[in-house]
Structure 1
Amino acid sequence: MPDPLRTAQQLSLSLLESCGETQGTLTATRLARALAMLDHETEQAYSLWLIENLGPDPALLAASIDQWMKRPNAVHASQLSIRAEPRRQELLRRLNAAPGGTRHLVAWRARLLREIAQCPALAPLEADLRHLLASWFNRGFLTLRPITWDSPARLLERLIEHEAVHTIADWSDLRGRTEGDRRCYGFFHPALPDTPLIFVEVALTDQISCAIAPLLDHPPSRTTPDRPSTAIFYSISNCEPGLRGLQFGNFLIKQIVADLKAEYPSLSVFATLSPIPGLVRWLDAGGRNLAHDGDDPRRLCALYLTGVQPDGTPGKPRDPVAAFHLGNGAELWRINSDADMSAKGLAQSAGMMVNYLYRAQDLVANHERFSAHGEVARSPEVDALIAATAAPARRWTLPWVKTNLI
């Protein structure tokens, strides 16, 4: 019986040596099938073989480095870049030509991301895949499509499966999030036409929402308002773990804003109602030591979201969701108490949620100040919460949250 690992290795070398398009596609298809049959242990052995045996050619790379050191110019820089690329990257490019090759590579990276903590030696292959996928899944190849109740069932199943912020309870719940004054949009790629890479859920309202329960409630009589003034982005979820770290959400939100504005000229306010997933963990790790006598609990949340230090020195936001929206150019507008009283909301943020405000005229300036200097655009209300930052701090047990919940 053929050795699966040896078969995959031989097909890999054959694929690198193939010249014609037809033969290359046939070999890529055979390799993809062989890789799909590998068990976990054998796939890991194959991955390590790629790293150890299909790196850059040492002699050619050394020669290019020597040329660059002796005479650094554009020609030698280009040659050095080419020869520094591992041969396995070309193998991955050719494997992508197999039917379903892109999906296979995305799934492969997802497995590598799960395994790297236990096997750090896999990191170079994960970096190769990230580099290639970032090129193949750039904004120019993505299309924005609305996702409605009439979308294919398999696509809707993916939403239920991958909703990561507010769990979709059942089909009725899903229908409520895609009809009437609720909208859903996704970014799609030609290689994965039945799967949104990332999707956003939106509510059309007449005010900036301060709690999630009304947005998740779906009364039968609910209809789309004739002239909504506000669009609330209340959930952003990724469907492909293998594309983690590739930025789609910033483009997605801005494109949806443009599309909604074209459909509803009455819309003038675009904001989020966002979770604060790491707040309680930060409090348990020492964040509550920043508390002062008489503090509003929202103040600690403001410190967490802005990264402001006890002496008032600016810092980086401690929350990944905050970093995402602030990096997009949004403004930290309002912190809402008792906004998510679900078990998950209480466990991760003591029930608090936050509004980030997207003002078209401020996005570029806010983004540049945040990227260059770490400046957080924030409302006067948030400024007031952190105004006493430099005052003496004391140890405070918050009565409104249990410790070590997550």
Structure 2
Amino acid sequence: MKRNRFLGDLLAHLFDRPNQMRGKQDDRSIVDLCEALLSAEGEVSGYRLAATVLERYNALDDDGKRAFFEYLNDELEIDAAHVAELAHQYAKDPSVEHFSALSQASEPRRQELLRRLNQPTGATPTLVSMRVDLLRFLKDQPALRRTDLDFVHLLRSWFNRGFLVLKQISWDTPARILDKIVAYEAVHQINDWDDLRRRLYPPDRRCFAFFHPAMPDEPLIFVEVALTKGVPGSVDKLLSEGRTPIDAEQANVAVFYSISNCQKGLRNISFGNLLIKQVVAELALEAPTLETFVTLSPIPGLNAWLKQQVEDDEIGHAATAMLGGEATDDGCKALAARYLLLAKRADGSPVDPVARFHLGNGAEVYGLHAQADSSENGQAQSSGVMVNYLYDLSQTELQHEGFVLNNIVAASPSVTALSNALLTTIPKGINT
């Protein structure tokens, strides 16, 4: 199979070389090239035209790229009146012919353009990078959201689970990929190669990543895992230089302590749910002694929420104490429990983005820990408080449905009790 693929790629490359050369000499504008790609000419010379368009796009400055996206957004839009007419015809006569016409008219031409642009070798990462530019322009031109929806639609198809490859990242992984793990780590910064080695080499550490065949050297998302005795409550201890590693057979808990998305152009293309579930399955096979699968997660929105509560009659005094570093550990955990279980957005879902991610995957809020993260980021986000989310595979599907359908936040009895606890302003270190 590999041999056939190699021969196919080689022959395509050889036969297309003259066309590629002509493409570089093509002096048509990028818009004219796109129109040609969408026409009958594109059916014949699609590879060459697509390569030329992508090459021309990469050479554009920001003004040129903005104009390109405006062309996609406005000139390759659906004809709403024509779609309405076809929909009316289909409602009267749901024939295959009317269905086909309606389906074709309902799809913006830019979707077909993006599909054809994805033909040349290396086109997929270029299109992912193209979306990074689009996301920048969306801040000032929200109307481009229509084009972004088409990018998301196609990227979700191209990056669905059937194409993803799970690989374990180890100390023996090629350096070009390890460099990217260091660069993409978004939760707990990797300071140097010694720090990376402590996360990959010991027998009680694991790291897994999803890759795509079109981007074989680019991780899409990766998770770092610690195998431990008992559920940990401090990332400082988990990542300590002086800790003593244990054998995997001694561990009974797998801890997902860092999950990092790597590709900005794949924002809103969710891989985390798939990654965690597959890693749980891999670890369960590898280490049968593992009984519990939890995260040790940050609470990124906690302090921002507390700042909004300082005038609140019920919890304002406690929020002020926590922000000032004067709250007890129990007081910090109680406020964190209230935030995770009770602070809601307008749509009824939790304010905290990490909570939405794990609860949406079917996890439950399992445990809270004060003084768990002494890093500058951890102190700024949550005054050092961290949370465990429990992945009980016998409950994840039920809890996922409850969260998605009714915004039900699954929580352990201990966390529920903390959310209802009486809040005090007694400073740390004072006995009562």
Once the two structures are superposed, what CA deviation does each residue of 1:350-380 show, in whole Å capped at 9, x if it has no partner? 1100001111111111111112222111111
**1:328 maps onto 2:361 in alignment:** yes
Once the two structures are superposed, what CA deviation does each residue of 1:80-132 show, in whole Å capped at 9, x if it has no partner? 23211111110100000122111111111112112211122322221111111
User: How far apart are the structure 2 equivalents of 1:61 and 1:315?
Assistant: 35
User: How far apart are 1:73 and its partner, in Å?
Assistant: 7.2
| Paired residue secondary structure (1:332) | strand
Instruction: Give the structure-2-normalised TM-score.
Output: 0.83
User: How far apart are 1:34 and its partner, in Å?
Assistant: 0.9
**1:199 maps onto 2:222 in alignment:** yes
Aligned match of 1:262: 285
The one of 352, 358, 361 aligned to 1:319: 352
Please identify which structure carries the higher helix content.
2
**1:164 maps onto 2:186 in alignment:** yes
The one of 305, 308, 313 aligned to 1:282: 305
User: How far apart are the structure 2 equivalents of 1:274 and 1:209?
Assistant: 11
**Gapped regions of structure 2 (runs ≥ 5):** 1-23, 319-329
The one of 128, 133, 143 aligned to 1:121: 143
Aligned match of 2:393: 360
User: How far apart are the structure 2 equivalents of 1:73 and 1:287?
Assistant: 63
* Structure 1 residues 241 and 384, CA gap change in structure 2 (3 angstroms): same
User: How far apart are the structure 2 equivalents of 1:271 and 1:220?
Assistant: 20
Contact 1:287/1:300 (8 A) holds in 2: no
Contact 2:332/2:385 (8 A) holds in 1: no
Once the two structures are superposed, what CA deviation does each residue of 1:6-64 show, in whole Å capped at 9, x if it has no partner? 62111111111145766111111111111111111111111101212112245642431
Write the letter of the residue equivalent to 2:145. Answer: A
Worse overlay, 369-378 or 223-232? 223-232
* Structure 1 residues 74 and 283, CA gap change in structure 2 (3 angstroms): farther
The one of 255, 271, 278 aligned to 1:232: 255
| Paired residue secondary structure (1:306) | helix
* Structure 1 residues 301 and 6, CA gap change in structure 2 (3 angstroms): farther
The one of 230, 236, 239 aligned to 1:213: 236
* Structure 1 residues 56 and 293, CA gap change in structure 2 (3 angstroms): closer
| Paired residue secondary structure (1:226) | helix
User: How far apart are the structure 1 equivalents of 2:80 and 2:418?
Assistant: 58
* Structure 1 residues 63 and 149, CA gap change in structure 2 (3 angstroms): same
User: How far apart are 1:398 and its partner, in Å?
Assistant: 9.8
Write the letter of the residue equivalent to 2:268. Answer: G
The one of 289, 293, 298 aligned to 2:333: 298
User: How far apart are the structure 2 equivalents of 1:48 and 1:398?
Assistant: 58
What value does the CA root-mean-square deviation take over the aligned residues?
Answer: 2.8
Contact 2:302/2:339 (8 A) holds in 1: yes
User: How far apart are the structure 2 equivalents of 1:293 and 1:46?
Assistant: 53
* Structure 1 residues 398 and 370, CA gap change in structure 2 (3 angstroms): farther
* Structure 1 residues 72 and 160, CA gap change in structure 2 (3 angstroms): same
| Paired residue secondary structure (1:274) | coil
User: How far apart are 1:217 and its partner, in Å?
Assistant: 2.0
**1:149 maps onto 2:168 in alignment:** no
| Paired residue secondary structure (2:368) | strand
Once the two structures are superposed, what CA deviation does each residue of 1:247-279 show, in whole Å capped at 9, x if it has no partner? 110110010011011010111111000000111
User: How far apart are the structure 1 equivalents of 2:418 and 2:311?
Assistant: 15
User: How far apart are the structure 2 equivalents of 1:374 and 1:221?
Assistant: 41
User: How far apart are the structure 2 equivalents of 1:377 and 1:279?
Assistant: 19
**1:9 maps onto 2:31 in alignment:** yes
Contact 2:310/2:316 (8 A) holds in 1: no
Write the letter of the residue equivalent to 1:248. Answer: F
Tell me how many residue pairs correspond in the alignment. 390
Contact 1:5/1:42 (8 A) holds in 2: no
User: How far apart are the structure 2 equivalents of 1:22 and 1:399?
Assistant: 75
User: How far apart are the structure 2 equivalents of 1:224 and 1:73?
Assistant: 65
Write the letter of the residue equivalent to 2:271. Answer: F
| Paired residue secondary structure (1:160) | helix
Contact 1:306/1:318 (8 A) holds in 2: no
Contact 2:221/2:262 (8 A) holds in 1: yes
Aligned match of 2:52: 30
The one of 406, 413, 419 aligned to 1:373: 406
* Structure 1 residues 14 and 78, CA gap change in structure 2 (3 angstroms): closer
User: How far apart are the structure 1 equivalents of 2:147 and 2:315?
Assistant: 45
User: How far apart are the structure 2 equivalents of 1:364 and 1:54?
Assistant: 41
Contact 1:332/1:357 (8 A) holds in 2: yes
* Structure 1 residues 152 and 333, CA gap change in structure 2 (3 angstroms): same
Write the letter of the residue equivalent to 2:303. Answer: V
User: How far apart are 1:156 and its partner, in Å?
Assistant: 0.9
Worse overlay, 75-84 or 118-127? 75-84
Percent sequence identity is 47
| Paired residue secondary structure (1:296) | helix
* Structure 1 residues 21 and 211, CA gap change in structure 2 (3 angstroms): same
Aligned match of 1:403: none
Contact 1:203/1:231 (8 A) holds in 2: yes
Aligned match of 1:404: none
Write the letter of the residue equivalent to 2:337. Answer: A
Contact 2:209/2:223 (8 A) holds in 1: yes
Worse overlay, 107-116 or 272-281? 107-116
| Paired residue secondary structure (1:97) | coil
Instruction: Give the structure-1-normalised TM-score.
Output: 0.89
Contact 1:204/1:225 (8 A) holds in 2: yes
